[in-house]
Amino acid sequence: MSVNSLINDIQFCFYYKDINKYMSLTGTHINRHMQPIEVSYDFGAYNKYIDKFIRRFKEVCTEEQYNNLLHNLSTLKIKEKVEEKSPVFVKAISLGYYDSINNEIVMEYYKDREYTEEDIEKVLFHELIHMASTRKIHTEPEDVICGFEIPNLFGKGLNESYADYVNLVKFQNQEYYDTTDYYIVFMKGLENVVGAENMKNYFFNSDINSLIEDLSQYGNRREIIRMLFLLDKMRSNPLTDRRDNSLMIRFIAKLNKAKLKSDYEKGLLLEKGFQIQYAMKVKEYERDRIWPDDTEFMGDDNCFMFRYKDQESEIYSYETNSNKRYIKID
């Protein structure tokens, strides 16, 4: 065990009781019966992006979730922060963040970089997703939960990762997943376990408790919370230990295999899919150490999850003795 892993386990033991306490509040102290309201707004040049986001949100989310969006939008503030020169380590061409406590989006720009409308839309949509998934917890003093994140305590890694994922597949309408991004793979793996619609509703209902309960049908509850706690640390540290990525891949593959225990072949294929993506990413293994000699991986060199044009859902494919076989993951 690495020093970082040891520190993470010690921190988890310290916070575990508080995490459970707040998660229970998200199940009993949140209003999930928001009523419609009339909202007007003027965010200047951002209006066209917000208009587009609202239209798309209404298509993919429930009426009650849409009402929650309108309530949050009615008090939303958007600010800009402009810096002269971008730091060397910042790869993103634009950055933003959402302050759920004050319901405020800050868009960050650097004068030495150029920004397209697509750049701005992608970042702003991500922050609007955070805004739309924020709800108040009726406690004393009153607190908030943002999607899957209990602020300053738990869930930030899961929350940021799923916001990236739902932005990609629901709001940016991208058909192909960039699985060189670990976090997209992690979210797709969790979604496979609980179902895409359930995952989306848990997120926009700010209901991490129900997500944990659902996942706990296929694994140990404490271990699930511990791994999501680890995900917090991974997202906050860009130099995360590669062994942590391996742990997360194996953990999600194990949940998927348990979910599909009635279909051993499908479960095994899914597990190998996660393993091979990890191997291709960090180059720690050769393909023949994971797959049998008579099995060849199908797809792009950097991707094991992809979408065929003539099918509705993602499928995983492999080839045995030149006979193509396709496994659909609903």
Give pLDDT tens digits for 202-233: 999 999 999 999 999 999 999 999 999 989 98
Q: Is the pTM of this model over 0.85?
A: no
pLDDT of 269 higher than 80:
no
Tens-place pLDDT, residues 66-76: 999 999 999 99
CA Rg, the chain, in Å? 21
pLDDT of 19 higher than 90:
no
What structural domains and CATH numbers belong to the chain? 1-28+177-330 (no CATH), 31-137 (3.30.2010)
Mean pLDDT, the chain, whole residue set: 75
Of 93-107, 138-152, 162-176, 272-286, the one with minimum mean pLDDT is 272-286
Tell me the C-alpha distance between 253 and 246, whole Å. 11
* pLDDT at position 68: 96
Please say whether the beta carbons of 130 and 146 come within 8 A: yes
- Chain Cα centroid distance, residue 299: 23
* pLDDT at position 184: 80
Cα 294 to Cα 263, 287, 289, 297, 306: the distances in Å are: 21, 12, 12, 10, 22
The answer to whether the peptide bond before residue 141 is cis (omega within 30 degrees of 0) is: yes
* 3-state SS track over the chain: CCHHHHHHHHHHHHHHHHHHHHHHHHHHCECCCCCCCCCCCCCHHHHHHHHHHHHHHHHHCCHHHHHHHHHHHCCCEEEEEEECCCCCCCCCCCEEEEECCCCEEEEEEECCCCCCHHHHHHHHHHHHHHHHCEEEECCCCCEEEECCEECCCECHHHHHHHHHHHHHHHHCCCCCCCCCCHHHHHHHHHHHHHCHHHHHHHHHCCCHHHHHHHHCCCCCHHHHHHHHHHHHHHHHCCCCCHHHHHHHHHHHHHHHHHHCCCCHHHHHHHHHHHHHHHHHHHCCCCHHHCCCCCEEECCCCCCCCECCCCCCCCEEEEEECCEEEEEECC
- What dihedral do alpha carbons 275, 188, 177, 311 form, nearest 10°? 100
